[in-house]
Structure 1
Amino acid sequence: MKKKLLIIGASGHGKVVADIALQMRKWQSIVFLDDNEDIKTVMGLDVVGKSTDASNYIQDHDIFIAIGNNAVRENIHRKLREEGASIPTLIHPNAIIGERVNLAFGTVIMAGVVINCCTTIGEGCIINTGSTIDHDNIIEDFAHISPGVHLAGTVKIGQGSWLGTGCIVGNNVSIVGDCILGAGAVVIKDVDQPGTYVGVPVRRIS
C-alpha cells in the first residue's frame, strides 16, 4: 500500500469512492483523473489529468478505477495490472463483513453493505449502497451489485453482470456472466443465458 491514492473517474461514482477513501483514512493525499477537462476539482480534491495519464502515477500512488461501466472498468483495470499498478480494495467503515469473506483488489464495498460469511467477491466489483450478500455467495470479477440488491445464500453472479437497484435473488440461484437485470427484478431460478432481464419473476427481453 502506498501513501497516495489516484482515483480514475470523477463523476458520481467517483465521488462516492473518494468519500469512502477519505473515511478510511489510509492515504495522505487523494487526487482524480477524469477525461472531462472542464473538471478541475471534485470534493475539494484536484483533478490532475486524464485517464490515459494513469501510468505516470504507478510508482507512488495506489490506483482505483471508479468507473461504473463494467467493461470499461475491466479494460482499464487489466491494463494497469499488466503495468504493475497497486490497486486497493475500498471498504466503507460502516460495511459489515463476515468471517471468511474474500474480497479481491479493485472492488469497492459501499456504506450499509452486509456480506455474510464464506462469500467470495472477485476483482473490480461494485457492491453498492445498502446491498446484502448472504452466506456462500460467489460474485465474479467486474460485476456491479446496485443499491438495495439482496442476494440470498449460495448465489453465484457471473463476470460482468449488472444487477439493478432493488433486485432480489433467491437461494441457490446462479446468474451467468454479462447479464443485465432491471431494477426490482426477482430471480427465483437460474439465468443461464446472457441478456437483459426484467420483472417479477424475471423474463428475458433482449
Structure 2
Amino acid sequence: MTSTPLVIVGIGGFGREVIDVVDAMNASATRFELLGMLDDAPAEQHAERLSVRGVPYLGTVDQWLAKGVTASYVIGIANARVRRIIDTKFTAAGHEPVALVHPAASTGSRVALGPGAVVCAGARLTTNITIGRHTHVHVNATVGHDTVLEPFSSAYPLSAISGECHLGEGSTVGAHATVLQGRRLGADAFVGAGAVVTRDVAPGVTVTGVPARPTADAAPGTSHD
C-alpha cells in the first residue's frame, strides 16, 4: 500500500499528540509518511520536545508552501481562528487535509468525519454523528448519538457531549465539561473546564460553572497547543 506524505501544523502539545495518532495508525501498515512539522512561532520548549521525537521541524507554513511539495496536512492547533487561517492557506495552495482516528478510539455506525478531523485515543463516538472539517476530539472525550460538531470545533479531554447536541463552528467544550442532551453551542462559544451546560450557549459566549453561566473572565480559544 502506498503511503500518503503528511505534514502536521503545530509543534505544541496537541500537535505532538497528533504524532502519536499517526504512529498508532501506521503500526499495522504504513499509511502515512510523516515528513515533519510546521509552526509559525515555535516555542523553544516545544522545539526541544519535538527533537526528542526525531520528527523534523520544517519551518513556517508559508516557507513550506513556497516549496511546492505535494503532501497532505493536518492541523494540531487548538485555536479555531488559527486553524481557519491555516486551512485557507493550504486549500489555496491545492493541498488536501486528511482525517485521523487513533485505533484505540471507538466509533459506532454512521459516524461521518470531515477532512482534517482528529479523533484521539480513548475517544468514544456512538452513532449517527457528524464531525466537521478540522474538528478535534481529544483523548477520552465522548460524543453521544445524533450529535453534530461543526468545522473547527473541539471536545477537550474527558469532555462529555450528550445525544442530539449541536456544536457550532469553532466552539469548544473544555476538559471534564458536560453538554446535556439536546443543547446547542453557538459559533465560537467556549465551555470552561468542568462546566455543565444545561441551556443553549449563544455564539461567542464563554460559560463556566455548574450549571454553566456566561463569564467575561476567559477568552475562548486562546491556547495554540
Tell whether the structures are fold-level matches, with TM greater than 0.5: yes
d(CA) in 2 for partners of 1:57 and 1:165? 38
Deviation per residue, 1:120-144 (Å, 9 max, x gap): 0111111111000010001011011
Instruction: Provide the alpha-carbon RMSD of the alignment.
Output: 1.8
Aligned to 1:5: 6
Q: Report the identity percentage.
A: 30
Select the residue among 12, 36, 47 that pairs with 2:42: 36
Aligned pairs (5 A) from 1:75-114: 75-114=85-124
How many angstroms does 1:36 deviate by? 2.6
Select the residue among 128, 151, 168 that pairs with 1:118: 128
Query: Would the alpha carbon gap of residues 58 and 183 (structure 1) be closer, same or farther in structure 2, given more than 3 Å must change?
Result: farther
- For structure 2, list consecutive stretches of 5 or more residues without a partner in the other structure: 217-225
How many angstroms does 1:193 deviate by? 4.3
Aligned to 1:48: 58
Query: Would the alpha carbon gap of residues 143 and 13 (structure 1) be closer, same or farther in structure 2, given more than 3 Å must change?
Result: same
The one-letter amino acid of 1:30's match is L
The one-letter amino acid of 2:35's match is I
Aligned to 2:223: none
d(CA) in 2 for partners of 1:57 and 1:47? 15
d(CA) in 2 for partners of 1:29 and 1:187? 38
Give the total of aligned pairs: 206
d(CA) in 2 for partners of 1:57 and 1:136? 42
Q: Is the 8 A contact 2:189 2:202 kept in 1?
A: no
Structure 1, 174-183 or 42-51: larger mean CA deviation = 42-51
d(CA) in 1 for partners of 2:78 and 2:67? 22
Query: Would the alpha carbon gap of residues 51 and 200 (structure 1) be closer, same or farther in structure 2, given more than 3 Å must change?
Result: same
How many angstroms does 1:182 deviate by? 0.8
SS for the counterpart of 2:207 is: strand
Aligned to 2:81: 71
Q: Is the 8 A contact 1:58 1:86 kept in 2?
A: no
Deviation per residue, 1:4-53 (Å, 9 max, x gap): 21111111111100111111111234311123385373511111212222
Q: Is the 8 A contact 1:131 1:145 kept in 2?
A: yes
Aligned to 1:178: 188
- For structure 1, list consecutive stretches of 5 or more residues without a partner in the other structure: none
How many angstroms does 1:80 deviate by? 1.0
Q: Is the 8 A contact 2:3 2:33 kept in 1?
A: no
Query: Would the alpha carbon gap of residues 77 and 2 (structure 1) be closer, same or farther in structure 2, given more than 3 Å must change?
Result: farther
The one-letter amino acid of 1:75's match is I
d(CA) in 1 for partners of 2:162 and 2:43? 43
